[in-house]
Chains A and B, each alone.
Chain A
Amino acid sequence: MTEDVQLVQQCLSGDELSMRAFLSKYQGLVFSICLRMLGHREDAEDVAQDALVRVFRNLEKWDQQRPIKPWLLTITANRCRTALEKRSKLPSQNDLAVDLASERREHSRHEQDQLDIGEELELALGELREDYRTCFVMYHQEELSYQEIGEVLGCPQGTIKTWLHRARAQLAKRLQERGVVADPSALEAT
């Protein structure tokens, strides 16, 4: 956290190198949440850019006694909600499927086999409710705590736990419906 404080102070002075360092550390997180909430890569990049510029604009408002991740993601989630309202359509799993197809071509056959279940998870995520999906991604991919997710989404921890549990259950159900089976060797390898 001290490192974040120092980095933020340098960013506040307008130092470009520090701003780039800040971006390399947090833009993946911001983009990931945007992608999960919007379900469309290009929209996610646009909103992530907007959110990150807002972050730089409001860096002085960040309470340096608290972790920066929830504050960052709160801004990001707000921008995503605004974008969703403007777009007035729900994220489509087709967009994710297109992204997956293009990604898949870039991998070798062996890696494709390993990606199959990951791709299925992506598709299943696209069918989840937006708050369940965001919650799942924040927890399992960005490794935020219940408390931090609660701060970002403006919900109590109990709600987050419930959403996360439901998200897992619905994902598992959808994976099973698609005939996806667990790969015990993958678990053993970890």
Chain B
Amino acid sequence: MNCQKVREQLDAALDGRAVVSGQTDVARNAAVVAHADSCPDCRVLYDEYLLIESALTVWAPRRPSVDLTDRVIDAARREGLVSSTVSAVRVNAAGVKVDGAVPRADRLTSGNEPVVRAATEETPAAGRSVWPTVVTVALVLAAIAIVFREKPGSIAHHEKTPQPSVRDSPPGLLDTPQDQVADIGHLVADAQSAWRGITSRVSRQASGFSVFVPNLSNELGIADVIGSADDNSGSASPGDDDQRQETVQPSAVDKAFEFLFDKAEPAGTLTI
């Protein structure tokens, strides 16, 4: 065997590893070994062959981290390349169930990831955050309603013009439209009476401090209520109302009432 033949055989052996490791086995080919022993140049080539072949046998391929598949699928999904989705719960390479896309940082820290919610899923806290506010507002409104509720025996109750109560009517009398209109009218009258009772009670309590604070009633914008509450006239005329609004500046109490009773008109100017 000459040098050319040996080099061709060594190259061919490296070209097809199955040949080396299986059938031909250049390393144990007596002719090649004999030539290499006698030829220093071919000996160098033969040693190189042995070295490369030996390294290739233990050369492990490098593989990507587990999450490369998920990263590619997520990127493809963002580009609209994925039309169907597999089950929300899938199993990763480690055999652990994974719910939706997993943040990369989490995946890099551990090979056995816990179940992680999808990044796009709404957090439970976001859904619940409205309810405490709603409940608080409802409680405040209920407290306000209790404080300002008309009580039996109050001033407004005594001042109220006796009206026949619809509830005293025998059953069957409210069946006609006229009766229903009358019922609504009674309800409106009740509301007006309640409003006058509230304002007159506040004005009387305020008048007790008028010794210390002159014109306190005017400051509170309820001076007119005292008179109007006594005459049981119901509501003030629009002309009078305009006149009052020119002379009495809106106070903090006015604003508070306006806020609490949904922008109701100032005390004494209630019109329905």
Interface residues of A (CB under 8 A from B): 13-17, 19-20, 23-24, 27-28, 31-32, 35, 41, 44-45, 48-49, 52-53, 56-57, 99, 114-115, 117-118, 120-122, 140-141, 165, 168-169, 171-173, 175-176, 180-184, 186-187, 189-190
Q: B69 near A: Cβ within 8 Å?
A: yes
- CB pair B53–A187 under 8 Å, yes or no, is yes
Which residue of chain A has the shortest Cβ distance to B55 in the bound complex? Answer: A121
- CB pair B48–A173 under 8 Å, yes or no, is yes
The stretch of B76-84, B124-132, B213-221, B231-239 in contact with A is: B76-84
- The number of residues on chain B lying at the interface, defined by a beta carbon within 8 Å of a beta carbon of chain A, is 39
Contacts of A168 in B (CB 8 A): 14, 48, 52
Contacts A53-B79, A53-B81 known; list 14 others, CB within 8 Å. A15-B83, A16-B82, A19-B73, A27-B69, A31-B68, A35-B62, A121-B55, A168-B48, A169-B48, A175-B52, A181-B51, A182-B53, A186-B54, A189-B57
* B35-68 to A contact mask, C-beta < 8 Å, 1/0: 0000000000001111111111111111111001
Which residue of chain B has the shortest Cβ distance to A53 in the bound complex? Answer: B75
Which residue of chain B has the shortest Cβ distance to A52 in the bound complex? Answer: B72
Q: Which of A20, A41, A44, A187 contacts B69 (CB 8 A)?
A: A20
Which residue of chain B has the shortest Cβ distance to A113 in the bound complex? Answer: B58
- CB pair B21–A190 under 8 Å, yes or no, is yes
The distance in angstroms between the C-alpha atoms of A61 and B58, with both chains bound, is 38
- CB pair B81–A14 under 8 Å, yes or no, is yes
Which residue of chain B has the shortest Cβ distance to A51 in the bound complex? Answer: B72
- Main secondary structure, interface of B, reads helix
The distance in angstroms between the C-alpha atoms of A2 and B86, with both chains bound, is 24
Q: Which of B50, B60, B62, B85 contacts A182 (CB 8 A)?
A: B50
- CB pair B82–A14 under 8 Å, yes or no, is yes
Q: How far is the CB of A92 from chain B (nearest CB, A)?
A: 16
Q: B158 near A: Cβ within 8 Å?
A: no
- CB pair B57–A187 under 8 Å, yes or no, is yes
Q: How far is the CB of A2 from chain B (nearest CB, A)?
A: 23
The winner among A23, A35, A115, A176 for most chain B CB atoms within 10 A is A23
- CB pair A19–B82 under 8 Å, yes or no, is yes
The distance in angstroms between the C-alpha atoms of A48 and B62, with both chains bound, is 13
Contacts of B81 in A (CB 8 A): 14, 19, 53, 56-57
Which residue of chain A has the shortest Cβ distance to B62 in the bound complex? Answer: A35
In the A-B complex, the 8 residue pairs with the smallest Cβ-Cβ separation, listed nearest first, are A14-B83, A172-B48, A182-B50, A190-B21, A121-B55, A31-B64, A182-B54, A118-B58
